[in-house]
Amino acid sequence: MIELPPELDALEVLVVVDNETDTLSSVAEGIPQIPEAVHLAMRRPPVRVHEGHACHVLFDQLCCACHGLSVLLSARRGVETHRVLFDVGPYPHVWLENAGHLDIDLASIEALFLSHWHFDHSGGFPQVVAAIAAARRAAGHAAPLVVDLHPDRPDQRGLMAANGSLMLLPAEPDFADIAAAGGAIVKAADAHLLGGGFFYGSGAIPRVTAYETGLAGHHSFRDGVLEADPLIMDERFLAARVRGRGVSVFSACSHAGIVNACLGAQDAFPDTPIDLVLGGYHLAGRIMEMRIEDTVRDLGQRVRPRIVAPGHCTGWRAKAALAQAFAPAHYAPSVVGSLYRLAAPA
Ligand SMILES: [Fe+2]
């Protein structure tokens, strides 16, 4: 077991890329999620005042949604803060435009943690790395951007259909291009701390439940050899804990199973309640949808999170089932531009 990260005073979670945009929906009173338009209006001054009414123009400033995930995590303990980016999503232009709309200070990002090698999480490499590294140099930061990757990089991945055809994702970025863009690569297959020690990056996620058996049909190319690879063992979750709230789990695609990821976090952080569970629960598609009932049951009975925040590849059927089980008191889905402010009680 490694040393655990310290308890934080506050953790801010900003969704930079997600499949869905929904800036109008409300969440239950007490859930610390702020819709995109609300925190945008809080950050930007009104364009004019008309007869005493502050006038905001927001709807040309909203983020764009696309199939993928990227989340910016800002952790504070006392006066010390550390910022880690969890994945970059598929398209560098989407990430960079959304980061502009969200007023993200690129230079403040210390580390970039990749959940797993899949284009909808890694496709923004190496351009996003180059932009952050350049911003850090321009701001005079001595430390380069750390890019935290699983060492077992496949060349390309995809799904094999019943008729034998392969639906491939684009090729994965390679280590040399990421390093050339200014990223200081750290390869980690085991659990470790990052972001000033405030964040916990998992190792391989133990497969515990009977029904979370990986992604059916998934294959990987390595050195020209194609192999069935349903378990995607390079997947890792990121976690951080806030004093008085518990440990939050960021699971980008949950190919390991969202329940397995949360049980892994419970193992790593004994006697600590689970706070926010944010990311893709990957319960979309006919085969995966058969796991919805078991997943919702085990999240409720074994994990008991404070906030269920499904996004990305969760799928509408699973989101509906999760909302049925956890809304309103424990449900605040992840959409692009969402901001969660998890603060220790005073
Ligand atoms: Fe994904």
Domain assignment present for residue 284? The answer is yes
Domain assignment present for residue 18? The answer is yes
How far is the centre of ligand 1, averaged over its atoms, from the C-alpha of 80 (Å)?
32
Q: Residues of 112-135 as b/e, b for ≥16 C-beta within 10 angstroms? A: bbbbbbbbbbbbbbbbbbbbbbeb
Give tens-digit pLDDT for 25-67: 999 999 999 999 999 999 999 999 999 999 999 999 999 999 9
Domain assignment present for residue 115? The answer is yes
Domain assignment present for residue 1? The answer is no
Mean pLDDT of 224-240: 98
How far is the centre of ligand 1, averaged over its atoms, from the C-alpha of 254 (Å)?
8
> In whole numbers, what is the pLDDT of the chain averaged over residues?
97
State percent of the chain over pLDDT 90: 99
> What's the pTM value of the predicted model, to 2 decimals?
0.97
pLDDT score recorded for residue 130: 98
Residue tagged 């998890």 (tokens): 342
How far is the centre of ligand 1, averaged over its atoms, from the C-alpha of 104 (Å)?
23
pLDDT score recorded for residue 1: 74
How far is the centre of ligand 1, averaged over its atoms, from the C-alpha of 256 (Å)?
12
How far is the centre of ligand 1, averaged over its atoms, from the C-alpha of 117 (Å)?
9
How far is the centre of ligand 1, averaged over its atoms, from the C-alpha of 18 (Å)?
10
Give tens-digit pLDDT for 119-142: 999 999 999 999 999 999 999 999
Give tens-digit pLDDT for 281-300: 999 999 999 999 999 999 99
Query: Could you tell me the end-to-end alpha-carbon distance of the chain, in angstroms, rounded to an integer?
Result: 31
How far is the centre of ligand 1, averaged over its atoms, from the C-alpha of 114 (Å)?
11
Q: Look at strands 183-187 and 145-149 and give their pairing.
A: parallel
How far is the centre of ligand 1, averaged over its atoms, from the C-alpha of 280 (Å)?
7
Domain assignment present for residue 3? The answer is no
Domain assignment present for residue 4? The answer is no
Q: Is the pLDDT of residue 160 over 90?
A: yes
CATH number of the domain enclosing 331: 3.60.15.10
pLDDT score recorded for residue 321: 98
Domain range enclosing 288: 10-343
Edge-first strand listing for the sheet containing 80-86 = 33-34, 339-343, 10-17, 70-77, 80-86, 111-113, 145-149, 183-187
Q: Is the pLDDT of residue 276 over 90?
A: yes
How far is the centre of ligand 1, averaged over its atoms, from the C-alpha of 116 (Å)?
9
How far is the centre of ligand 1, averaged over its atoms, from the C-alpha of 253 (Å)?
5
How far is the centre of ligand 1, averaged over its atoms, from the C-alpha of 27 (Å)?
25
β partners of residue 162:
none
How far is the centre of ligand 1, averaged over its atoms, from the C-alpha of 141 (Å)?
32
Residue tagged 């951007």 (tokens): 145
Give the angle subtended at the CA of 156 by the CAs of 152 and 160, to the nearest 5°.
Answer: 115
How far is the centre of ligand 1, averaged over its atoms, from the C-alpha of 44 (Å)?
32
How far is the centre of ligand 1, averaged over its atoms, from the C-alpha of 251 (Å)?
10
Q: How many domains does the chain divide into?
A: 1
φ, ψ for residue 286, nearest 5 deg: -55, -45
How far is the centre of ligand 1, averaged over its atoms, from the C-alpha of 48 (Å)?
41
Cα 219 from Cα 222, distance rounded (Å): 10
Q: What is the DSSP letter of 32?
A: -
pLDDT band at 150 (very low <50, low <70, confident <90, very high): very high
**Contact assessment for residue 203 and residue 256, using Cβ atoms and an 8 Å cutoff:** no
Q: Is the pLDDT of residue 192 over 90?
A: yes
Give tens-digit pLDDT for 300-331: 999 999 999 999 999 999 999 999 999 999 99
pLDDT band at 187 (very low <50, low <70, confident <90, very high): very high
pLDDT score recorded for residue 2: 85
Domain assignment present for residue 326? The answer is yes
